[in-house]
Structure 1
Amino acid sequence: MVSTTTTKPRTPAAGGPAGTPAGQRPRSPYPTWFYLPAAILYTIFFLVPTVASFWFSLTRWSLFESEFIGLENFVQFFREPALVTGMVNTVIYAVVTSGLKVVLGLLLGVLLTSQIIARGFLRSVVFFPVLVSTIGVGITFQVLMDPFGGLINETLAVVGIPGPGWLTDPSLALLSVALVDVWKGVGLATVIYMAGIVSIPQEYFEAARVDGAGTVQQFRNIVLPLARPATVTVIILSLIGGLRSFDLIWAMTRGGPGFTSDVIASVIYKQYQAGFYGLSTAGNVILFILVTAIVLPLSRVLNRKEVEL
C-alpha cells in the first residue's frame, strides 16, 4: 500500500540573518564608523601622551636623548622638601575652594531662581567672572591685594582697619588665592545649581505650601535632596579644578612667599624651569595619580548614594 503522507514545505527559521530576532532588520555597522574620528583624536591627544608621560617619568631625558633610570625620579621627587608642602597645600586649596563653591553656589542658585528684582542682571553679574581670563584675574587681584597702596587695604584704612599682607603673609597667601578662585568660579557652580533647582517640579513646592511648610523647610526638605545631582557635579568639578590649579596661583604668588602657597603643579613647573624634565614628568604622573585616587572613589560614593536616594 502506497503511503499518501505529504511533507509540508519548510518555513524559514525564526529570526533574520546572523541570529537577528524576527521582525527586526540586521544591525548595520555603518553608524559605528562615526566613532572612528573621535577614537583617533582621543588616542592621539590623550592615550599616547599619557603612555609617553609614564615612560618618560622613568627616564632622565632631554629633547634629544633619554636614559632609563627606573623609579629614581619618583624617589628624588618625594625627597624634595617642597613636595610635602605642595601636596598639603594642594589638598587644602582643593577642599577650601570646592567647599565654598558648593555653599555659595547653592545659596546664589536659590536666590537667583526666586522672584527678585533685576534677576537677569544679577545672573549676568555672578557669571561674568567665569568668562574672564584666569591670568587677567590673577594680575588684577595681585594689584588690588598689594599691602602698600592696594585698593583693598586702602579701603580698609578708611574705616580704621589695618590691612594685612594678603599675598606676602605666609599664613594668608594660599587662602587669599583660594578666595579669588572662589570669586572667579562660583558663577559656574551657581549656573549648575540653577539648572538643578529649576528642574524640580513646582508641584512639590505647592504641596509643601499647602501643608504649611515655610521657606526654610522647603529648602531643607525639597531643594537640598532634589538638587543633589547638581551638588555632586559641583563637588567633582571643583575638586578636579582645585587639585590641578596652577595658573591663578602662579600669576598671584608664584608659590611664595617661600613655598607657603606652592601646590604640586607649581612645584612641577619649577622643576621644568630648572631643566629637570624627567623629575617634573614624574611629578605630573604623581599629580595624575593623586587626582584619580581622590576624585574617582568620591564620585562613585556620591553617585551610589544618589541612586539609593
Structure 2
Amino acid sequence: MNKKKIYSAWFLVPTLVIFTGLFILPMVTSLFFSLTVWDLKNFTFVGLENFKMFFSEGSLNIGIRNTLLYAVIGCSLKVTAGFLIAVFLTSNIRTKNILRSVIFFPNLVSTIAVGITFKALMHPTKGLINSALGAVGLRGADWLGNARTALFSVLSVEAWKGVGVATVIFIAGMQAIDKTYYEAASIDGADGWQKLKNITLPLCRPAMNSVILLAFIGGMRSFDLIWSMTGGGPGFATDVLASVIYKQYAEGFYGLSTAGNVIMFILIAFIAFPLQKFLMKGEVD
C-alpha cells in the first residue's frame, strides 16, 4: 500500500517543480528584493524603506486609490451591463446569434489597439466623439485631458471591451437553468419581472460570481488600456498600481517598483479570497 502511495506521489513531482519554479521562487525573490535597493548587479538591504516611501509619496499611493476605484466601478459596469444584455440575448429574438457575436467582438481586438483607437476618438478637437456632439449642438469635453473625466473615460472603454466576456458567461448560466422553473412560474401567473427576480437571478449566482471575480481581479491588474490611452495622465489622475510600478522600473527604481508588485499581490489576495468566500455562500445548489 505504501509503495502505491509513493508511486502515485511521483506524478505530482512535475507539477510541483513547475509551480515552484514559476510561482514560489519568483514570489520569494520579489519579496526579498522589495526590501533592497538594487540594480542588475548589486543590492543593498534597506528593510521596509521602499514600502514606507510607496505609502508616503502621494504620486505613488494615488495608484492604490485609483486601482480600487477602477476595479470596483469597472466590475460593477461589466456585471450590470453583461447581465442585462444576456437577458436580452436569451429572449426570443431572431438575430440573437448575430448580436452575440457583435457583443463579443471587442474582446477579440488587441487592448492596445482599442486604447489607441479610443484615444483618437476622444481627442478634444479632432476626435469623432466631440465632432458628433458638436453636430447636434452639444459641447464636447476633453475626455482624457481633464483630470476629473480621464479615469471615467478609460473605465467606459474598459466596460465596452470587457462586457462581451461577462455576457457570454451570463448566457451560459441562463441557458443551464431548467425551463420547467419558468413553465411552473407561468402557470402560477408570474410575469417577466417576477421570473427574472425569483428564478433567473438566484440560479445565475454561480455565473455572476465568476464574472465578479474575473472582472474585479482583471481591474486590479489593469495596465495596457490605461497606458495606451493616457499613460497615467494627466498628471497622476489615471495612474494605477501597475502603471506606477512600470514608471518606477523605467526610471531605474527597481527596489521601489518590486515593493509595488508585492503590495499589488497582497492587495489582490487580501480582497479576492474573502470576496470569493463571501460570494460562494450565496450560491444556490
**TM-score range, shorter-chain basis?**
over 0.9
**Corresponding residue for residue 105 of structure 1:** 82
Quick one: distance in 2 between partners of 1:27 and 1:195? Answer: 41
How many corresponding residue pairs? Answer: 285
Task: Report the residue type matching 1:112 in the other structure.
Answer: L
Q: Which amino acid aligns with 1:39?
A: L
Q: State, as a whole percentage, how many aligned pairs show the same letter.
A: 54
Q: Find the aligned partners of 1:285 and 1:58 in 2 and give their Cα distance.
A: 10
* 1:90 lines up with 2:64 in the alignment: no
8 Å contact kept, 2:232–2:240: yes
Gaps of at least 5 residues in structure 1 are 1-16, 19-25
Stretch deviating more after TM superposition (29-38 or 100-109) = 29-38
Q: Distance in 2 between matches of 1:193 and 1:32?
A: 39
User: 1:124, 1:38 → 2: CA distance?
Assistant: 37
Flag the structure with larger Rg. 1
CA distance in 2, matches of 1:72, 1:176: 35
Q: How does 1:245-284 map to 2 (within 5 A)?
A: 245-284=222-261
Paired residue for 1:241, among 218, 226, 232? 218
Which is worse superposed, 296-305 or 36-45? 36-45
Shift of 1:268: 1.1
Please list, as runs of the form range in 1=range in 2, the aligned pairs for 1:41-190 lying within 5 A after superposition.
Answer: 41-190=18-167
Quote the RMSD (CA, aligned, Å): 1.5
Q: Normalization by structure 1: what TM-score?
A: 0.89
- Separation of aligned partners in 2, 1:258 and 1:295: 29
Post-superposition offset of 1:29? 5.1
SS in 1 for 2:282: helix
Name which of structure 1's ranges 35-44 and 185-194 shifts more when overlaid on structure 2: 35-44
Q: Secondary structure at the match of 2:156?
A: helix
Q: Which of 206, 215, 218 is 2:195 aligned to?
A: 218
For 1:51, the aligned partner's letter is: V
Kept in 1, the 8 Å contact 2:64–2:240? The answer is yes
Distance 2:15 2:257 in 1: 30
- Preserved contact between residue 202 and residue 283 of structure 2 (Cα < 8 Å): no
Instruction: Supply the distance in 1 between the matched residues of 2:153 and 2:207 (Cα, whole angstroms).
Output: 27
- Secondary structure in 1 matching 2:158: helix
Q: In structure 2, the residue corresponding to 1:306 is in which secondary structure?
A: coil
- For structure 2, list consecutive stretches of 5 or more residues without a partner in the other structure: none
